Amino acid sequence: MKKTYSILFPAILAFALTSCKKEEKIAVENLIGKWTVANDDPRIAVDGSVTYKFNSDMTCIKNIYNALSNRDTSIQRTYVLSYDKTLVTLYDENKIYTEQYLIKRLNTKEMKWENASPKDGNEDKRLVRSSDQ
């Protein structure tokens, strides 16, 4: 009976360790480029779009398009990444913080942000890589 446990226990332990949900690696090198905020709620009609274009010089252009008024607004931002590259903070031209997100996922096609400052009026976001870079 002891021999069965000595074989079975390591197998169960190995299975348990490999089946645990692994945290996805944040590939911060994929941040540079244009990202569109995705609408995942089919109950909400979208009447515009929001994009973020991250540049390697730590600048970002946030573009807001309102289809109802046919207005296109571009807002210049700078951004800072935390030391561990899991937090992105955006600042306006006066160096005042405007948005801050925990990067929960970042790969070549998708990025997920969790609002790091819930009282600032911003929401969690899922962004997809834009085809027009």
Tens digit of each residue's pLDDT (9 = 90 or more) over 120-133: 889 999 999 998 76
CATH number of 23-129: 2.40.128.370
pLDDT band at 65 (very low <50, low <70, confident <90, very high): very high
Domain boundaries, the chain: 23-129
The widest CA-to-CA distance across the chain, in whole angstroms, is 76
Q: What is the pLDDT of residue 43?
A: 64
Q: Is the pLDDT assigned to residue 60 strictly greater than 60? A: yes
DSSP type of residue 28: G
Question: Percentage helix, strand, coil, to 5, in the chain?
Answer: 20, 45, 40
Amino acid at 75: I
What is the tens place of the pLDDT at every residue in 13-58?
454 444 444 556 778 899 999 999 998 766 666 688 999 999 999 9
Q: What is the pLDDT of residue 75?
A: 97
Q: What is the pLDDT of residue 47?
A: 82
CA distance 109 to 74: 23
What is the CA 27 to chain-centroid distance, rounded? Answer: 11
For residue 127, give Cα distances in angstroms to 20, 44, 51, 57, 85: 26, 17, 8, 21, 17
Spell out the residues 6+ positions from residue 13 whose beta carbon is closer than 8 angstroms to its own: none
User: Residue 6, by phi and psi: left (phi above 0), alpha (psi -120 to 50) or beta?
Assistant: alpha
Average pLDDT of the segment spanning 60-87: 94
